[in-house]
Amino acid sequence: MVKKDVAYCRTTTDEELRQILKLQEQNLKEVLSSQEKHQEGFVTLKHSFDILKKMNDACAHCVAKHEGKVVGYALSMLQNFKNDIPLLVPMFNEIDKALEEKNLSRHYIAMGQVCVDKNFRGQGVFRGLYNYMANQLRGDFDAIITEVDTKNIRSSNAHKGIGFEALKNYTSNNRHWEVIILKL
């Protein structure tokens, strides 16, 4: 059940961006125990404030807030940021190949990362973020595409549970990834 006191919006302030980075830091793969990674999931990439702001200025990120504090986020990443984060270049290349192979629209937005505060998990915030993001971006894009580390079972199951479908799997930087799509 969605917590009634969680509100969804697009980021408009530097403070919201700093709160995203703080939540990201708490959930990075390298700071969590093996048990936490397995049970709770994890995020792989650490963004700088500058790149997060540039991405936000181009297409504002979606956040879940409780009492003015960011408790979840879904990052918006336009295709023109493809080369700004080296770790994500292979993802964009694989997305392009998969869309071409399946004859699907290339008019998509990449969801750059999603994360929900541990105290708000299991309350519908993940689904709420994606519903909000889809409603905000429908009409501007045909799909939301992202990738999930195949070891991140919780994230993979959560994405599939809200309608994401597999596009393809690939290996990059010694990790196995699943590229997934949510058609809008």
pLDDT tens-place string over residues 153-165: 888 999 999 999 9
Q: Which pLDDT value is given to residue 128?
A: 96
Q: Is it the case that residue 2 has pLDDT exceeding 70?
A: no
pLDDT tens-place string over residues 32-82: 778 877 777 777 788 899 999 999 999 999 999 999 999 999 999 999 998
The verdict on pTM exceeding 0.75 is yes
70's enclosing H/E stretch is strand 69-77
Q: Which pLDDT value is given to residue 3?
A: 52
Q: Which pLDDT value is given to residue 98?
A: 94
Mean pLDDT of 13-19: 98
Mean pLDDT of 89-117: 93
The DSSP call for residue 17 is: H
- Spatial CB neighbours of 182, under 8 Å, sequence gap ≥ 6: 130, 134, 143, 144, 145, 159, 162, 163, 164, 165
Quick one: pLDDT band at residue 1, thresholds 50, 70, 90?
very low
pLDDT tens-place string over residues 75-92: 999 999 988 888 889 999
CA distance 173 to 94: 14
Go through the domains of the chain in sequence order and give each one's CATH number: 6-183 (3.40.630.30)
